[in-house]
Chain A
Amino acid sequence: MTALLEIRDLKAEVAGRQILNGLSLTVNKGEIHAIMGPNGAGKSTLSYVLAGKPGYEITGGEVLLNGEDLFAMAADERAAKGLFLAFQYPLEIPGVATLTFLRAALNAQRRKRGEEELSSPDLMKRVRELSKKLGIDPDMLRRPLNVGFSGGEKKRNETLQMALLEPLLCVLDETDSGLDIDALKVVANGVNQLRAPERGMIVITHYQRLLDYIVPDVVHVLAAGRIVETGGKDLALQLEATGYAQYQGEAA
């Protein structure tokens, strides 16, 4: 069976500095992988490289999404093929209403997959249902995307986008940062509802706390741009106790 995501010996640079140093990782359908690691280890870099953010140079290795070369696709094609990155810092887009954005995103993906566009009433209905589940004020949908949203509102909004777009591979970059415990539970609940046999997830976090709510199948430690240890969910608890100091020496 083809893996959902296969990262082989990935090396990447930003601003002339090598950040990913031969990272390998395989995520199969139905699995939830957690990636933990110290600040500056390259976790966000990995997520951006996967999503196709400009400014990152791939200097080695390859990534296959459902067996297809990820780097041969533009960012929008990756999304249409089922990749979703929940940003650590979602961007504010003045002048673009949240609902307009959601409609544009969903329909662009559907068009690219040769599916019919969702009608406005159907979209509204779907968005309203999801908003309710995620505790999002429907008024927010008319406001410009993320503009003036609190940190928690932005993360809920990312989760709403993810739930609406129904990706095959979700990459959540520090979705827990900036959330109080109640918001964390709501967001985690939203994520858990997306657990499905055909879907995989990479949950990036600095703290173990999130993994109490989104329970992973596999936990990896990323340090100095590489996966340095892999274990079960107990590894997260162990890290909570010991911290990342033992891995700092791994730096190249």
Chain B
Amino acid sequence: MNAPVAALKTEAEQGLATAFAAAAPGLPGGAAVAAARAAAFDAFAQAGLPHRRLEAWKYTDLRRLMRDAKPLAPPPEAAAKAEAATAGAVIAGLGFRRLVVVDGVFAPDLSDLADLEPGLAIASLADQLAADAPLLPAAFADVLPAAEPAVTLNGALVRGGVVLTVAPGAVVARPLHLAFITTGTAPVAVYSRSLLTLGAGAKLSLIETHEGPEGVDYQVSAVLGLDVGDGASLDHVKITREGSAALHVASLIASVGAAATLTTCGFTLGGAVVRNQAFVRLKGAGTNATLSGVSLLAGRQHADATLMLTHAAPGSTSREVFKAVVDGAARAAFQGKIAVEQAAQQTDARMMARALLLSEEAEAYSKPELEIFADDVQCGHGATTGTLDDQLKFYLMARGIPAKEAEALLIQAFVGEVIDGIAQEGLREALTAATVAWLEARDA
């Protein structure tokens, strides 16, 4: 390995080079994976951390926001696993099948692997890499932009994750819950990657939760690849509740077949800096995609939802709704690009971004974009940023509802539009409760 360290200028970039050099020999993978990791790190090193002059990272300048690189978390020992026993408590009790990923490593011993439904297979990414499986399956090759920095760096440093396979036609009744947790009190870096292959006509609900220690400035890089087959149906929810000082960069990569249904919703509450980027390619005709997100931000939090959705085949419909509630001196950013390729006639795509500012210092940026190469399409986008409606608040107060409670009702209503789109009732209730708790913390 011969990394061009000269290109890496910042302390964090140099730290990443050091971390890679130190960790590489111990990371899972045969010779082919080791070579792919080295190539990935080289590619990352050429460009360095993404910064604001790159259009896709305009609002989340990692070169500035990531001050240093933390050492890679070691494989979890007993203490880490004990701490991980409660991972995903935010949706506990809903009867989902919980699969725990501790410090980037799938922990079968903490996971519920009993009575797997026919057609459902669960494996460890680390095991597969050890057998020299590719870092990224071929299905995703045309979904990602070339040398996408976050995914590239993740490939170099990934320690593990879960690999899910659902056989064609299999309907997995019990939702899967991927519970990611970072443990300990020392700031570490955690790189995980999970992959799902959903066979033709198969059906699955997949919920991710991400959490970690409060006040510790750990760093998380998570990649999730979703390969959704023809006629398959996937319902995905990601709940990001990292500790208050954490940096969290997540990349969703989805390849979607024909006549499929993809619903994905991101719910972000915690973390100092959160970047949720999604790359979605609707490859088959007649597919239905609903992509949504909610961020509840306070203090000095920064959250960025970036979406690159490509309609590559005719007759697909997509709906995007992203909402942010921004309090304190927090900052929300939304970037959404819908690209409609020439082949994708009769595309129906609509994107909306709304931000609600609760304080003078709160900020929201949004940049919705359409790039259309087909002529027979219906596409639209809109963005609004505003404050709570004083008239509505007065109406509620005139009925005896105190100011804070009136605001809370209006904020819940604002967020409710997205939560209402989630299929499982239990999950809707959990997210509503999380919203209420966030609002109560705001009053405290």
Whether A52 pairs with B396 at a CB distance below 8 angstroms is no
How many residues belonging to B are interface residues under a CB distance threshold of 8 Å? 22
Within 8 A of A (CB), among B77-100: none
How far does the alpha carbon of A161 sit from the alpha carbon of B399 in the complex, in Å? Answer: 8
How far does the alpha carbon of A110 sit from the alpha carbon of B409 in the complex, in Å? Answer: 18
Closest 7 CB pairs of A and B: A95-B413, A79-B400, A109-B400, A105-B399, A75-B397, A76-B397, A91-B395
Whether A165 pairs with B413 at a CB distance below 8 angstroms is no
Q: A95-B412, A96-B410 are in contact. Are A52 and B405 (CB under 8 A)?
A: no
B425 within 8 A of A: no
How far does the alpha carbon of A106 sit from the alpha carbon of B405 in the complex, in Å? Answer: 13
- Chain A 171-200 interface 0/1 with B at a Cβ cutoff of 8 Å (1 = within): 000000000000000000000000000000
Whether B403 pairs with A91 at a CB distance below 8 angstroms is no
Contacts of B413 in A (CB 8 A): 93-96, 144
Contacts of B399 in A (CB 8 A): 76, 79, 101, 105, 108-109, 161, 165
How far does the alpha carbon of A108 sit from the alpha carbon of B413 in the complex, in Å? Answer: 18
Q: Which residue of B lies closest to A50 (CB)?
A: B398
Q: A75-B394, A91-B395 are in contact. Are A96 and B400 (CB under 8 A)?
A: no
Whether B398 pairs with A101 at a CB distance below 8 angstroms is no
Q: A91-B391, A95-B416 are in contact. Are A76 and B400 (CB under 8 A)?
A: yes
A87 within 8 A of B: yes
A-B contact number at CB 8 A: 80
A14 within 8 A of B: no
Whether A93 pairs with B392 at a CB distance below 8 angstroms is yes
A80 within 8 A of B: yes
Within 8 A of B (CB), among A70-107: 74-76, 78-80, 85, 87, 90-91, 93-96, 100-101, 104-106
Q: A74-B397, A79-B400, A95-B412 are in contact. Are A54 and B392 (CB under 8 A)?
A: no
How far does the alpha carbon of A79 sit from the alpha carbon of B401 in the complex, in Å? Answer: 8
Q: Which residue of B lies closest to A161 (CB)?
A: B399
How far does the alpha carbon of A105 sit from the alpha carbon of B405 in the complex, in Å? Answer: 10
Q: Which residue of B lies closest to A109 (CB)?
A: B400
Within 8 A of A (CB), among B405-444: 405-406, 409-410, 412-414, 416-417
Contacts of B360 in A (CB 8 A): none
